[in-house]
Amino acid sequence: MLGTGRMKVLLIEDEAKAAGYLRRGLGECGFGVDVAGDGETGLDWALAESPDLIILDVLLPRRDGWSVLAELRRAGRKTPVLMLTARDAVADRVKGLGLGADDYLVKPFAFAELLARVRNLLRRSETPGPTAAGELVVGDLRLDRIRHKATRAGQLLDLTPKEFALLALLAERAGEVLTRTVIAEAIWDINFECNTNVIDVHVRRLRAKLDDPFPRRLLHTVRGCGYVLGERE
């Protein structure tokens, strides 16, 4: 998983329909979602990619959710884990808590409920400090990637999800010139060869909200190259 400015969720779920539904829903809410279809792959990715949060189904092929969770904690990983269980058995909850699960959701559940739990877990895992986990600061710009909120000089910016994702990408790599190809791959998940016009259009819209109302520009065009976010004279 490359840095895309988004909070990264690893979904370990073997039921393709449910996985697709959750991936789409979380994607629309601005999360970057990877789906692993079995416990073994899920554990490998969880250890290798360090996601911000893991949504873990209990019943999985190759390695069940309990075992994935136990291995993850044994490896010292504190990644928040939301378990999905088909049964609302007290024994399951006790077992999961003993293994270090952070929260539970019993299937079937409403997407809104899952989203609320995800946001809650991400908030809880924030480290205290001047900038909490999930927050990006560039000059007087603050981006809260958990709540998908952007402010400049304390003033809330009204951004679409795509504009927010674009700004978060630029903020995560502030001071670095990002080419249109890099932006296209990160935000649109596709390989652009020629049609980068869509990026210019989004940058224009973002700039109108981010820079036009303020005396100092943050988003700069590097001619023939791409875009960079930062404070410049």
Which residues lie near Ca ion (CB under 5 A)? 14, 57, 59
- Pick between residue 103 and residue 140 the one whose CB is nearest to Ca ion: 103
Min dist CB 60 to Ca ion, Å, is 5
Q: Residue 69: CB partners within 8 Å, gap ≥ 6?
A: 56, 81, 83, 96, 99, 100, 101
Contacts of 118 (CB under 8 A, 6+ apart): 9, 26, 31, 53, 55, 82
- When the beta carbons of 37 and 139 are compared against Ca ion, the nearer one is 37
Report the C-alpha gap between 221 and 227 in whole angstroms. Answer: 5
State which residue, 39 or 134, has the beta carbon closest to Ca ion.
39
Q: Which is nearer to Ca ion, 104 or 164 (CB)?
A: 104
In the complex with Ca ion, the residue whose CB is nearer, 34 or 231, is 34
| Residue nearest to Ca ion according to CB distances in the complex | 59
Q: In whole angstroms, how close is the CB of 118 to Ca ion at the nearest point?
A: 18
Residue closer to Ca ion, measured from CB, 30 or 96? 96
- C-alpha 121 chain-centroid distance: 13
Write down the least CB distance from residue 119 to Ca ion, Å: 24
Q: Smallest distance, Å, CB 68 to Ca ion?
A: 12
> Who contacts 65 (Cβ-Cβ below 8 Å, separation ≥6)?
12, 39, 56, 57, 58, 59, 83, 84, 85
Minimum distance from residue 31 beta carbon to Ca ion (Å): 21
Q: Of 64, 73, 79, whose CA–CA distance to 10 is shortest?
A: 79
Q: Closest separation between CB of residue 66 and Ca ion, Å?
A: 13
Give residue for tokens 């209990």: 58
Sign of CA dihedral 21, 22, 27, 29: positive
